Every structure is written in C-alpha cells, then in structure tokens.
Amino acid sequence: MPPIPFRENNLIYKNSPDMVPGFAMDGPVSPWIPTEPGIENRFHLFDLNQNHFAVTVRCAPGSVIARHYHMGAVLGYGLQGRWKYKEYDWVAVPGTFIYEPPGEAHTLVILGDEPMISYFHVMGPHIQLDENDHQVGWVEAFNLLAYARQ
C-alpha cells in the first residue's frame, strides 16, 4: 500500500486549547485502502481532537463489515448499491440517510451484485465483536490514521 499524504489541517485544531492536530487528505481524491476482505476505505478526514473520522466505504458484492458497535454516533449517506444490517430488515439504497446510534451493535451485509459505496462520519471509537459479542478489536481515528499512513 502506498504512503498516504495526509496533511495537518489548521481548520480542525485552530480553536483547540491543547492544539492536538487533525489531518485531512492532501488532494482532491484519496486512494482506496483495504481493511477487511472486500472492504476498501477512502479516508477524507481524521479529527484527533474529537476522535472522529470521515470515510467513503466501498464494499464488494457479498462482503460483510463484521459486527461492531460505536461509542459515539455515526452519520452516513448511501451512494451506490444496496445493503442492510444483519440484525434488522431495513435496507439502505443510494440516497438513504444513515444513523447508527452509540452502543447499538450491527453487521453490514452487502446485497445484490453491485458494489456498495456509502459515506460515513464516525464520531468516536468502535468496538469490533466476535459471534459471542466479545470484543476482538478497537478502531478509532488514531489507529486508523496510523494504518492509513503505512
């Protein structure tokens, strides 16, 4: 994976008393970075003051984003393809507004033959779970930024 040219973004931290920086993608288009099988992420922003990140996610047909819950809210918007939460009947399509409340565990399942593309603003860490709802991972702006810069 090529190194990612994130730049420090004054707009993110100029009002912060502790001056913890944030990073935004340097350029109009960031690369797709793989995480789970079939899942790629185009990161736009890492806000290290608030531990937020903004990302466009692209998922191959039949792929799954493993069960997890968020410690803060997530706002999103469907851009392409169809997907649902394994735990619910609700289906997201292009143009769907998405809200994931803190503490609610879910598994994203891609439907149909078209890749899914959605935008998400993730506010805080999320906890990855196994099939018994035991924690198996921790994802947040800090470790994602480190991963994206490898």
Residues engaged in binding Fe ion (CB under 5 A): 100
Residue 23 beta carbon to Fe ion: minimum distance, rounded to whole angstroms: 22
Residue 100 beta carbon to Fe ion: minimum distance, rounded to whole angstroms: 5
Burial class (CB in 10 A: 0-12, 13-18, 19+), 141: buried
Alpha-carbon gap, residue 144 to 47, rounded angstroms: 11
**Residues found in the chain:** 150
Residue 106 beta carbon to Fe ion: minimum distance, rounded to whole angstroms: 6
Q: Where are the beta strands (DSSP E) in the chain?
A: 6-8, 23-25, 33-34, 39-47, 52-59, 64-70, 74-80, 82-85, 91-92, 97-100, 106-111, 116-123, 126-129, 135-139
Choose between 21 and 75: whose C-beta lies nearer to Fe ion: 75
Choose between 22 and 76: whose C-beta lies nearer to Fe ion: 76
Choose between 21 and 139: whose C-beta lies nearer to Fe ion: 139
Residue nearest Fe ion, Cβ-based:
100
Residue 68 beta carbon to Fe ion: minimum distance, rounded to whole angstroms: 6
Choose between 4 and 122: whose C-beta lies nearer to Fe ion: 122
